Chain A
């Protein structure tokens, strides 16, 4: 059941990010622990994909492997036709904790990345770029403040500005709003969506908030519980963009999708061992096709 409208326009590359038989195994003297096994996923250019699953199921590990911060034990990762080997500024990462450098102002934190990517641009151009993104995320008046002077939500705004300012090929968001209260979370989801609407940067986000996933993404990838986590189900989200939170929640499909996701999560919460999901693989290929 795929809504054509939800799919990105046909001229874009369908397999902008390809993850093939991704495996992460930790070896220890006691034996080896397989965290993620046989993880396959294709993400089209300009698509917003969310990984959901239980805490510790390995979804963050997948993101970390795409970011290059964790090496994959086996399998292949290709982004825009080039194999991913190690971290790089072509993937903008928004961490769960804002991870700003506390001795730098908001502007300097964004500039650190901007100078790294746009090293050929003049200092004035780089500054302009950094300030543009800080303004877009609503921090025009706080650019000279250090993280300690900013609220948790404002810090994460800086984190988002820093990732977007790199003009990355891809955006990786690791539970970016997990540490925020729900009102701030709503605000920041809107900020993220606004920025994303302007640039349509291919995005992969990890979350365990079902509503957040439905509001932001084009497709939701449900991961089975670890060990040996893999893709369990892929749910396309048919809501039209640009999205409005109220409109999304009033959409007739909303509660059906929400229920489907929650049911998936509940099935996997109560069974330690992975239940075989016959629909899982099928949906995967269906969506990729």
Chain B
């Protein structure tokens, strides 16, 4: 281990070993194509290709790479609604996530503040929140469709630009991803040291000043932890929402490729979702650490 540490290899080598082991495991369970020469019932020789292995339909890493290449090589290509480059899909998904996420923050942050400030409000709202929090996005989506069934914005050409399914999609993302922002903001407000509040009281700061000069800055670190977790959930929800609506995006593409039987691209989608999720989380961590006080 000293050798590793001396050359700082452990931070490069060990992850590589991990990835390598993962690929080997993948290769081991993936299906292999075998060509068999057999005789049919008439006694004629035929060649048959069969897939064998622990999970015969799972494409191997090499097959996945081959099938994914066109989507990676031209990341912004648009060959059709549901046949675009992987980054084009990512951008479509991200824009939907951002809209839903911003709605979640716009509702969740003030809600969290009220919960943190008022015990009465907390007591009144707690049962509802605890019941709604664990509900899956798959369950919210139909309710969204029902709630927004009359939403329909049509552009000049008679094409629906924003319909019930769009509203339901945003609703689902917002309602699922809101909770970490709500809970962390509430905890943050409750955790504001009494000392700070006493300073505000002694100086007789107005309500607005107390909120913006004391409460908000003191709560920000907690809020951003919540915001980061919320963004992670919003990104999780997008796949479910796109699958249900069939909208173009990473999740919609994934579901379409499953239905089309091109399983290699499912793996491409999964990896994309994972990497984008990681990048979002890291970006939010950077923002979060900037707001850390004391």
Residues of chain B with a CB closer than 8 A to A113's CB? 203
The residue that A103 contacts in the complex, of B202, B204, B217, with Cβ under 8 A, is B217
Known: A93-B202, A116-B205. A99 touches B195 (CB 8 A): yes
Residues of chain B with a CB closer than 8 A to A93's CB? 198, 202
Residues of chain B with a CB closer than 8 A to A148's CB? 293-294
Q: How far is the CA of A69 from the CA of B203 in the complex (A)?
A: 11
| Residue contact B195 to A112, C-beta cutoff 8 Å | no
Q: How far is the CA of A172 from the CA of B199 in the complex (A)?
A: 13
Q: Tell me if A152 is interfacial: C-beta within 8 Å of chain B.
A: no
The residue that B214 contacts in the complex, of A89, A97, A101, A116, with Cβ under 8 A, is A101
Residues of chain B with a CB closer than 8 A to A58's CB? none
CB nearest to B294 among chain A residues? A102
**Number of chain B residues close to chain A: CB under 8 A:** 16
Q: How far is the CA of A103 from the CA of B294 in the complex (A)?
A: 8
| Residue contact B203 to A103, C-beta cutoff 8 Å | no
- Indicate with 1 or 0, residue by residue over A131-170, a CB within 8 angstroms of chain B CB atoms: 0000000000000000110000000000000000010000
The residue that B196 contacts in the complex, of A67, A87, A99, with Cβ under 8 A, is A99
- Number of chain A interface residues as a range: 20 to 34
| Residue contact A116 to B198, C-beta cutoff 8 Å | no
Q: Tell me if A95 is interfacial: C-beta within 8 Å of chain B.
A: yes
- Indicate with 1 or 0, residue by residue over B170-206, a CB within 8 angstroms of chain A CB atoms: 0000000000000000000000010110110111110
Residues of chain A with a CB closer than 8 A to B214's CB? 101
Residues of chain B with a CB closer than 8 A to A89's CB? 202-204
CB nearest to B216 among chain A residues? A103
Q: Which A residues, 96 to 130, have Cβ-Cβ distances below 8 Å to chain B?
A: 97, 99, 101-103, 112-113, 116
Q: Tell me if A56 is interfacial: C-beta within 8 Å of chain B.
A: no
Q: Tell me if A9 is interfacial: C-beta within 8 Å of chain B.
A: no
Q: How far is the CA of A93 from the CA of B214 in the complex (A)?
A: 17
| Residue contact A87 to B293, C-beta cutoff 8 Å | no
Residues of chain A with a CB closer than 8 A to B198's CB? 69, 87, 93, 95, 99
Residues of chain A with a CB closer than 8 A to B204's CB? 87-89, 116
Known: A102-B294, A112-B213. A87 touches B201 (CB 8 A): yes
Known: A101-B214, A103-B217. A69 touches B202 (CB 8 A): yes
| Nearest chain A CB to B94 CB, angstrom units | 31
Known: A87-B204, A89-B204, A93-B202. A103 touches B293 (CB 8 A): yes
Q: How far is the CA of A147 from the CA of B198 in the complex (A)?
A: 17
Q: How far is the CA of A102 from the CA of B214 in the complex (A)?
A: 10
The residue that B201 contacts in the complex, of A69, A92, A102, A147, with Cβ under 8 A, is A69
Known: A69-B198, A95-B195, A95-B198. A102 touches B293 (CB 8 A): yes
- Indicate with 1 or 0, residue by residue over B252-290, a CB within 8 angstroms of chain A CB atoms: 000000000000000000000000000000000000000
| Nearest chain A CB to B206 CB, angstrom units | 9
Known: A69-B198, A99-B196. A116 touches B217 (CB 8 A): no
| Residue contact B203 to A112, C-beta cutoff 8 Å | yes
The residue that B202 contacts in the complex, of A91, A97, A102, with Cβ under 8 A, is A91
Residues of chain B with a CB closer than 8 A to A101's CB? 196, 199, 213-214, 217-218
- Indicate with 1 or 0, residue by residue over B202-228, a CB within 8 angstroms of chain A CB atoms: 111100000001100110000000000
| Residue contact A87 to B202, C-beta cutoff 8 Å | yes
Q: How far is the CA of A95 from the CA of B200 in the complex (A)?
A: 13
| Residue contact A147 to B202, C-beta cutoff 8 Å | no
| Residue contact A67 to B294, C-beta cutoff 8 Å | no
CB nearest to A114 among chain B residues? B203
| Nearest chain B CB to A155 CB, angstrom units | 11
Q: How far is the CA of A22 from the CA of B294 in the complex (A)?
A: 38
In this complex, the member of A88, A102, A147 whose beta carbon has the largest number of chain B beta carbons within 10 angstroms is A102
| Nearest chain B CB to A253 CB, angstrom units | 36
CB nearest to B209 among chain A residues? A116
Q: How far is the CA of A147 from the CA of B203 in the complex (A)?
A: 19
CB nearest to A99 among chain B residues? B195
CB nearest to B193 among chain A residues? A99
| Nearest chain B CB to A131 CB, angstrom units | 18
Q: How far is the CA of A101 from the CA of B293 in the complex (A)?
A: 9
Residues of chain A with a CB closer than 8 A to B201's CB? 68-69, 87
CB nearest to B195 among chain A residues? A99
Q: How far is the CA of A102 from the CA of B218 in the complex (A)?
A: 8
| Nearest chain A CB to B290 CB, angstrom units | 11
Residues of chain B with a CB closer than 8 A to A69's CB? 198, 201-202
Residues of chain A with a CB closer than 8 A to B218's CB? 101, 103
Q: How far is the CA of A102 from the CA of B217 in the complex (A)?
A: 9
Q: How far is the CA of A63 from the CA of B198 in the complex (A)?
A: 13
Residues of chain A with a CB closer than 8 A to B294's CB? 102, 147-148
Residues of chain B with a CB closer than 8 A to A95's CB? 195, 198-199
Residues of chain B with a CB closer than 8 A to A88's CB? 202, 204
The 3 closest A-B pairs by CB, nearest first: A102-B294, A99-B195, A87-B201
Having A88-B202, A89-B204, A93-B202, one finds 8 other A-B pairs with CB under 8 Å, namely A69-B198, A69-B202, A87-B202, A91-B202, A101-B214, A103-B217, A112-B203, A166-B203
Point out residues on A near B: beta carbons under 8 Å. Answer: 67-69, 87-89, 91-93, 95, 97, 99, 101-103, 112-113, 116, 147-148, 166
- In the assembled complex, 10 residue pairs joining A and B whose CB atoms fall closer than 8 Å, in A order, are A67-B202, A69-B201, A91-B202, A93-B198, A99-B199, A101-B214, A112-B205, A113-B203, A116-B203, A166-B203
